[in-house]
Amino acid sequence: MSDLFSFPAKRGMSSHHKIIGNCDIWLTPPEIIKGLGSFDLDPCAAPDPRPWETAKHHYNERDNGLILPWHGRVWMNPPYDHRVIGSWLGRLADHGNGVALIYARTETEIFHKFVWNKADAILFFKGRLTFYKPCGDKAAGNGGAPSCLVAYGPENARSLIEANYDNPVFAGKYVKL
């Protein structure tokens, strides 16, 4: 298993979020993907079979999307482990065309380096998201921390505004950077 996807056993999406079993894969709520429009690539996709598509092309853990070529508009729900998330956000920032779903940990060095200093916009969700298990079942509890969408590129920043107006799932605060 690649170190870029490794997590300590028996941990949830954050250190204080209890999970049942050894699930380290948490899927984006499908209404978020639908509300943002189509994506060309998901370099952090769940393994096959996945209950819904997140992009036209997918790289999963076995592929190691961090080292493969990226193209077009990218959707990314990266591994949330603090040891690797900066590598994924740095790659998306360099690519310049995509949206990432991450925890809104605005005080961290990673957030300052790859979001505040490189992104075009952020949508801070109102409340906490509930993610899904690889089988497509909704998790019993929320993600354990506030989340945000980070847009790289002006078209993606615009997609956050449009999604915010059209869909109550996107209730929250839009910030143009």
β-pairing, 57-58 with 41-42? parallel
Average pLDDT value for residue range 80-102? 96
Average pLDDT value for residue range 56-61? 95
Average pLDDT value for residue range 167-172? 87
Comparing CA positions, the residue from 167, 166, 2 lying closest to residue 83 is 2
Q: Which residues contact 55 (CB under 8 A, 6 or more apart)?
A: 38, 39, 40, 41, 42, 45, 74, 75
Average pLDDT value for residue range 25-30? 89
Q: What is the mean pLDDT of the chain?
A: 86
Confidence at residue 20, expressed as pLDDT on a 0 to 100 scale: 39
Average pLDDT value for residue range 162-175? 86
β-pairing, 172-176 with 121-125? antiparallel
Give, in order, the Cα–Cα distances in Å from 143 to each of 47, 70, 74: 20, 28, 22
What percent of the residues of the chain are helix, what percent strand, and what percent coil, each to the nearest 5?
A: 25, 20, 60
Name the most confidently modeled range: 28-32, 50-54, 81-85, 97-101. 97-101
CATH fold group of domain 30-176: Rossmann fold (3.40.50)
Confidence at residue 24, expressed as pLDDT on a 0 to 100 scale: 66
Q: Provide the whole-model pTM.
A: 0.86
99-141 pLDDT per residue, tens: 999 999 999 999 999 999 999 999 999 999 989 988 888 888 8
134-167 pLDDT per residue, tens: 888 888 888 888 999 999 999 999 999 998 777 8
Q: Which residues contact 125 (CB under 8 A, 6 or more apart)?
A: 104, 146, 147, 148, 149, 170, 171, 172
d(CA 169, CA 162) in angstroms, rounded, equals 12
- Decide if pLDDT at 23 tops 70: no
